Each structure stands twice: as C-alpha cells, then as structure tokens.
Amino acid sequence: AASDVYKRQVVTITVDKGTDLSNVFATCTLSSGATLSPALGGYQDWSRLNKEFTVTSASGKRSKPWTVIFKTK
C-alpha cells in the first residue's frame, strides 16, 4: 500500500485538577522531514482533554495516528 498506517499511539499528560487548559502552548519534535497534522502552532485550547494528530514520514509512505490526552489528578 502507498501509505502504511500503524497502531494508534497515545501520550498521556497528567495535570492538577482545575488546571486551565484553554490556552496551552504545546510543542513536539519530529524526525527530519516528517510532518504533523494538524500542526501545533502557538497557544491552543486543550480543554476538551484530548486531541488527535497524524505523523507522516518525510517520504509520505508511512503515517501513524497519535492521541494526546490530558488527565486530571
């Protein structure tokens, strides 16, 4: 297949209950040439507690879905 999709990966971030997630500046580092969709750019609202992203290899032949989840403690 032109695009191999792998099992979804999950990143879980635990924050204190009551933490304001409406204006979070998140960043990530990818391999050279890889892309993230949707892109992380500046401050974003994470108050829904999770977001889904897709990382695509520089060649465009492989992609992997990721879910970032904020949990409260």
From first to last of its 73 residues, the chain has per-residue pLDDT tens of 444 555 779 999 999 999 999 999 988 899 999 999 999 888 999 988 899 999 999 999 999 999 999 988 8
Cβ–Cβ under 8 Å, residues 39 and 28: no
**CA 6 to each of CA 11, 37, 43, 61, 63: distance values in angstroms, whole numbers, following the listed order:** 15, 16, 29, 12, 7
**According to the model, what pLDDT value does residue 49 have?**
83
**According to the model, what pLDDT value does residue 41 have?**
81
**According to the model, what pLDDT value does residue 2 have?**
45
Cβ–Cβ under 8 Å, residues 20 and 72: no
pTM of the model: 0.76
